[in-house]
Amino acid sequence: MTDYQRVAQAITFLEANFQEQPSLEEIAAQVHLSPFHFQRLFTSFAGVSPKKFLQYLSLNFAKNLLANPRLPLTEVAYYTGLSGSSRLHDLFIHIEAMTPGEYRQGGIDLTIKYHFADSLLGKVLLASTDKGLCSVEFVQGNEKEALIEIQQKWQNARWIEIATEFHHQALEHLWPGASSAGKLRLHLKGTPFQIKVWEALLRIPESEVRTYGDIANEIQQPAAMRAVGTAIGNNPTAFLIPCHRVIRKNGDLGGYHWGLNRKKLLLGLETIEKEVVDISE
């Protein structure tokens, strides 16, 4: 059996038995490896540990159960295979940074202000709470579809179409000279791992690039390059968290959620700005 087949078999086992919350030893036994060697093998292929993968499976199952408002949290925990509602609470706090109750409410009592605006790189949809920007996306299709897509993340929030100072500040960061536009406040919704990746992206200087491996090393998880790529793809604030500055190891630009042409233009704008600054100095 190859290493790939062992990992695939382990994933199949986890998907079928996650409600039993199997231990690392039990999972490793399924592919005839010691827990130590299995942990290293699984993490190198999947980008996350077996325990973390099990948590994601449990979380997704619990989310589906929480869609039923009549189902008590104790029963959600029971059907998910957790020992009690406190473990369900810990699971959501650790991965979603919110309680099960807050997830079920989906942003109730939260007001989000949104605004469509034209930019150098096309139409942009900006959304913010009182705490800061929560979403900045280039509009790929029509405005209605773009709005529906971001509303799915905050289903019970109250949405108001109005421009805010946060929106104006975000747009300033797309123009040459954006480095002097001032700091932005972000109100992000992500897992602890995603937040770590996004923070690493913010530390990449303008006009410079990093590889997925560089980011994985910076967050001290060198085997998690695939998970890093997923976190980068889930960046909720387009150019503000500069996922366009990440390329493949061979120098190719790789993918970009809002199109490779925009990625090239963003990198080009930053290079031009740096050259202008160098000349003026």
Active site residues: 243
3-state SS string over the chain? CCHHHHHHHHHHHHHHHHHHCCCHHHHHHHCCCCHHHHHHHHHHHHCCCHHHHHHHHHHHHHHHHHCCCCCCHHHHHHHHCCCCHHHHHHHHHHHHCCCHHHHHHCCCCCEEEEEEEEECCEEEEEEECCCCEEEEEECCCCHHHHHHHHHHHHCCCEEEECCCHHHHHHHHCCCCCHHHCCCCCECCCCCHHHHHHHHHHHCCCCCCCEEHHHHHHHCCCCCCHHHHHHHHHCCCEHHHCCHHHEECCCCCCCCCCCCHHHHHHHHHHHHHHHHHHHHHC
Contact 211, 247 (CB under 8 A): yes
Q: Which amino acid is at 5?
A: Q
| Exposed / middle / buried, residue 229 (Cβ in 10 Å: 0-12, 13-18, 19+) | buried
Strands 210-211 and 246-247: parallel
Cβ neighbourhood burial of 177 (10 Å; 0-12, 13-18, 19+): exposed
